[in-house]
Structures are given as structure tokens and as C-alpha cells.
């Protein structure tokens, strides 16, 4: 009796606080609705770059395991790139420079022309890696006329690669990785302004040097810069360590109004922002780029990894890096949250509360609840998969505990492992309905107890009958 009284008192206090705060009875439909893809997107394609153009097409290029050519695909959807035909737009030279190790192409559209940035060695020295640029004329880069604009010259004639370009406040920059001949490491990250799409101007600044332990496993590496901007901030991800299971992403952050050509303007995250996950079977995620969803409302992380940890021989000789994609989420403080490299198959979603829009469904100690500021992103991500009990239903599988599903147990919702029993299958299966409080949302009706829906009560999830407007609001969620 005492516990029931406390629960009722808490419910009254929560309702009173909501009224006093003047909180809206209804949340706005999320700015970034759910978007899902199926991984991997492309087998044996590393260092992927996807560019969404104004012509309605996505253009995809990547390193091929033969290291001998530059290829392009295009499709009107990200998923369509998986089966899109591939065109070779350029092949390595038979001798001399640009004759070996054709790596990490990126495609950009600048001032009415196409540009591909890539790295290459020479036939007489395959490790004399330098950065080069192709220029393409024509509406469709798969059929464009391509010319070589030559090498991007930097402050040194040394190992350099992974050029990328971006614009902040009207200024175009080039970021890249290069070896400082005076330092005993492999590559640092550099930034310079551009005079034109194949020429830098001014003195480059070194933004980041591999110093953390996670940046120096196997090799001392900072490479593969990629930029995403949001909310007046510039975020530069980069790859670190050897290209095996230790490969991971770090991140630099700067204000868009700061002097980007000052190292002091950039803050370096002390831990990786994206790394291998044994739980999902993804290893060595890295060399990423960014694109946007088909509706332009979600940011998409594009990267490569392998489906196994142990590699025989030199990782560069292993051809099985695959291109993968997954949605980028944004923390309340405006920073990107990449979570973990999700399992192969359909990518997961998040579900925000209809009447508490800053709270997301998540598991904590296996109990399901709604909670705000879930920075451990994967705790709040679920794959919507065919229902374990069948019949046109769905089940919600944990992103970071594959094989574990949301199920009701004595009408409380928990995350539990699928033990193969008919009871768990029934309890972990739901009918996906239009949102009871807003048809733009979603509600989940219990398969084994028709008429009962997943709803939050004191922020914990239960399966209960619904009758009032409050019940329907508590049982409505938005997929994000």
C-alpha cells in the first residue's frame, strides 16, 4: 500500500509540475524523422565518399582493393548505390607518378565543375604517396571529360594523402594528412586556404598530431579528415592508428567564427568518437565522409570497416573493407553522436516520447524507460525487425545487444535475450500502429495482449490498456 501511495503522489507531482511549467500537451513532429538503410552498402570498397548533388543523384566513390583506378556510381537514393553500375573514370599511369596505390578518392562539385581528389604513389616508389586532382567537365561525372590538374603542392615533398575540401563563411579550405619530415610519426592533420580547387595558398597549419594511445596503435596516424557543420560549429572527424581493428575516429571541434587557421581554435576529443564493436561484429571503422538523407533532414555517416577482428598479414593487403552508412544523431549540447558501428542489416531507429519530446526510449540495467540526454546513443537505438511471433508484426531489437529484444514481463517492459521460447516471442512482438495521439507517430500494441500498448508511466515503460487522452499520449512515440 505504501509503495502505491508513493507512486500516486509522484504522478500527481509530475502532472502538477507539467501544468505549472505550461508544457505543451503535444510534441512537434521531429525535424529529423527516422531513416533506415541496409548494411553493408558496398563490399570491398574502402575510404568511401558519397556526395549528394543538386541534380537529385548521390555520387559514390571509394578505394578499390586493386589500388589501380577511380570508380564512380550514382543513384537517386543512398541504398540504390548498392546495386548501381560502376564506371571507371580514370586508371593509374603505366609508369611514373600516379602509377601505384590509388587511394581515397573524393568527388566534389565546385564552381560548375567536378573535382576528384585522390592519393597515389609512383611506379618506381609506391610509397611516394602524394595528393592529386582530376577536373571533370559535364553534367554527369560518369560521362564527364576528365583532365589531370596535377599534384597539390604543400610545404614539404613528403608522404601526403586524404585531401578533402569544405567551405566555412565563404572561405574554401583544404584539409589533409601529411608526414612532417622532422617528426618521428606517420601523419598529422593540416589545413590551408585554397586559391583554386587544386592549389592551396598561404602557410598550412598543423591541426592535430597523434599523441593519445588510441591514435598510435601500430602506427602514429591522424588521417582521413572529414567535416560536418551544424549550429555555428565545425566538426572535423579523422581516422587514427593502424588500418586493422584498432582503426577508429577522433574529432576536432571549432567555432565557425574562429580563426580556423589557428590550432588554438580547435579542441580535440580525448577519446575516440567511433570505434570497433565486438557486440555488433564491426571492426576498424574509419575513413569516413558525411552525406544527407534523401529528404535532406538527417545527416548520414559513411565509413568502412571489416566484419572480423583478426587479419592475416598486412591489413592493406586485406580486401574486405566494406562501405557502410548510419544516421548521425545530435546531443543536446550540439555535438554529433555517432554511437557504435551498428550490426549488418537494417539500421536502428530511436523513439522519442510524444508528450516528453526530449526523452527517448532506452534501456538501463535492462529496464526500458524514457530518458533525456542519452549520450550512450546505442542504449536508445532499436532495430525494427519482423516480429518474432510473425503475422505482419514487429519486434524491437537492441542496437548494442543484438539478440536482445524489448518484451513485456508482468506488463513491465524489459530488454531480454531471445531464448527461443514461444512465450518470449509472443511477449516481444507488437503490432505497429499509427500513433494513438498523433497518426504521424507510432504506437506499439501488444501481440499477446491485444488492446494493451507500450506506454510510459513515471518514465518507465509498461504494457497497459489505454482509454484517456493522457494514456494515448503516453503510448505515442516518434521514430527518429
Reduced 3-state DSSP string for the chain = CHHHHHHHHHHHHHHHHHHHHCCCCCCCCCCCCCCCCEECCECCCEEEEEEECCCCCEEEEEECCCCCEEEEEEECCCHHHHCCCCEEEEECCCCCEEEEEEEEEEEEEECCEEEEEEEEEECCEEEEEEEEEEEEECCCCCCCEEEEEEECCCCCCCCEEEEEEEEECCEEEEEEEECCCCCCCCEEEEEEEEEECCEEEEEEEEEECCCCHHHCCCCCEEEEEEEEEECCEEEEEEEECCCCCCCEEEEEEEECCCCCCCHHHCEECCCCCECCECCCCEEEEEEEEEEECCCCCCEEEEEEEECCCCCCCCHHHCCCCEEEEEECEECCCCCEECCCCCCCEECCECEEECCCCCEEEEEECCEEEEEECCCCHHHHCEEEEECCCCCCCEEEEECCCCCEEEEEECCEEEEEECCCCHHHHHHCCEEEEECCCCCCCEEEEECCCCCEEEEEECCEEEEEECCCHHHHHHCCEEEC
Residue 66 falls in the annotated catalytic set:
no
* End-to-end Cα, the chain, rounded Å: 39
Calpha distance 177→168 (Å, rounded): 20
What pLDDT, on a 0 to 100 scale, did the predictor assign at position 26? Answer: 59
Q: pLDDT tens digit string along 246-304?
A: 999 999 999 999 999 999 999 999 999 999 999 999 999 999 999 999 999 999 999 99
Under a CB-based contact definition with an 8 Å cutoff, are residues 360 and 322 in contact?
A: no
Q: Is the model's pLDDT at 15 over the cut of 90? A: no
Set 47, 106, 299, 474: catalytic member = 47
Q: Percent of the chain having pLDDT more than 90?
A: 93
Verdict on whether the full-model pTM lies above 0.75 = yes
The whole-number pLDDT of residue 184 equals 84
571507371: which residue's cell?
Answer: 88
157 or 7: which carries more pLDDT confidence? Answer: 157
Burial class (CB in 10 A: 0-12, 13-18, 19+), 236: buried
- Residue 27 has a pLDDT of 67
Residue 3, pLDDT > 60, answer: no
Contact 237, 249 (CB under 8 A): yes
From the candidates 223, 244, 299, 445, which is the catalytic residue?
223
Q: Say if residue 369's pLDDT is above 50.
A: yes
Tally of CB atoms within 10 A around 93: 15
Cis-peptide into 435, omega within 30 deg: no
Q: What is the pLDDT of residue 17?
A: 39
Is residue 412 part of the annotated active site? The answer reads no
Query: Quick check: 13 pLDDT over 80?
Result: no
pLDDT band at 56 (very low <50, low <70, confident <90, very high): very high
Task: Say if residue 24's pLDDT is above 90.
Answer: no
Amino acid at each position: 500500500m505504501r509503495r502505491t501511495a508513493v507512486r500516486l503522489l509522484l504522478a500527481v507531482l509530475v502532472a502538477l509540475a507539467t501544468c505549472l511549467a505550461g508544457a505543451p500537451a503535444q510534441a512537434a513532429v521531429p525535424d529529423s524523422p527516422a531513416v533506415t538503410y541496409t548494411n553493408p552498402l558496398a563490399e570491398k570498397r574502402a575510404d568511401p565518399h558519397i556526395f549528394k548533388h543538386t541534380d537529385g543523384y548521390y555520387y559514390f566513390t571509394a578505394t578499390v582493393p586493386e589500388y589501380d583506378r577511380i570508380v564512380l556510381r550514382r543513384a537517386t537514393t543512398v541504398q540504390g548505390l548498392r546495386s548501381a553500375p560502376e564506371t571507371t573514370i580514370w586508371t593509374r599511369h603505366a609508369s611514373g607518378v600516379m602509377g601505384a596505390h590509388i587511394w581515397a578518392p573524393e568527388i566534389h562539385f565546385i564552381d560548375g565543375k567536378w573535382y576528384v581528389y585522390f592519393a597515389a604513389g609512383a611506379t618506381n616508389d609506391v610509397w611516394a604517396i602524394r595528393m592529386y586532382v582530376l577536373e571533370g567537365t559535364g553534367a554527369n561525372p560518369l560521362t564527364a571529360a576528365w583532365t589531370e590538374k596535377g599534384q597539390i603542392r604543400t610545404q614539404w615533398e613528403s608522404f601526403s594523402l586524404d585531401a578533402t575540401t569544405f567551405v566555412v563563411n565563404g572561405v574554401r579550405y583544404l584539409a589533409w594528412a601529411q608526414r612532417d619530415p622532422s617528426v618521428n610519426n606517420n601523419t598529422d592533420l593540416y589545413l590551408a586556404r585554397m586559391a583554386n580547387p587544386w592549389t592551396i595558398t598561404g602557410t598550412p597549419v598543423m591541426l592535430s598530431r597523434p599523441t593519445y594511445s588510441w591514435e598510435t596503435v601500430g602506427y602514429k596516424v591522424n588521417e582521413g579528415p572529414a567535416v560536418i557543420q551544424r549550429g555555428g560549429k565545425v566538426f572535423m572527424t579523422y581516422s587514427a592508428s593502424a588500418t586493422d581493428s584498432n582503426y577508429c575516429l577522433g574529432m576536432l571541434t571549432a567555432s565557425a567564427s574562429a580563426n580556423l587557421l589557428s590550432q588554438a581554435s580547435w579542441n580535440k576529443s580525448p577519446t575516440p568518437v567511433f570505434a570497433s564493436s565486438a557486440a555488433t561484429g564491426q571492426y576498424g571503422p574509419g575513413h569516413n565522409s558525411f552525406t544527407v538523407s534523401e529528404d535532406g533532414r538527417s545527416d548520414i555517416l559513411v565509413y568502412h570497416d571489416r566484419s572480423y577482428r583478426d587479419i592475416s598479414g598486412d591489413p592493406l593487403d586485406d580486401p574486405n573493407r566494406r562501405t557502410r552508412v548510419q544516421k548521425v544523431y545530435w546531443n543536446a549540447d550540439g555535438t554529433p553522436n555517432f554511437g557504435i558501428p551498428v550490426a549488418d542489416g537494417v539500421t536502428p531507429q530511436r523513439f522519442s516520447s510524444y508528450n516528453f519530446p526530449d526523452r527517448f526510449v532506452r534501456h538501463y540495467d535492462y529496464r526500458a524507460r524514457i530518458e533525456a540526454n542519452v549520450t550512450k546513443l546505442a542504449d536508445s537505438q532499436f532495430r525494427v525487425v519482423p516480429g518474432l511471433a510473425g503475422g505482419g508484426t514487429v519486434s524491437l531489437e537492441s542496437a548494442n545487444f543484438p539478440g536482445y529484444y524489448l518484451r513485456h514481463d508482468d506488463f513491465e517492459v524489459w530488454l531480454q535475450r531471445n531464448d527461443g521460447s514461444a512465450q518470449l516471442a509472443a511477449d516481444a512482438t507488437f503490432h505497429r500502429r499509427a500513433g494513438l495521439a498523433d497518426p504521424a507517430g507510432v504506437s506499439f500494441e501488444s501481440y499477446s495482449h491485444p488492446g494493451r500498448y507500450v506506454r510510459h508511466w513515471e518514465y518507465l515503460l509498461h504494457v497497459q490498456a489505454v482509454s484517456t487522452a493522457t494514456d494515448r499520449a503516453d503510448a505515442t512515440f516518434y521514430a527518429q
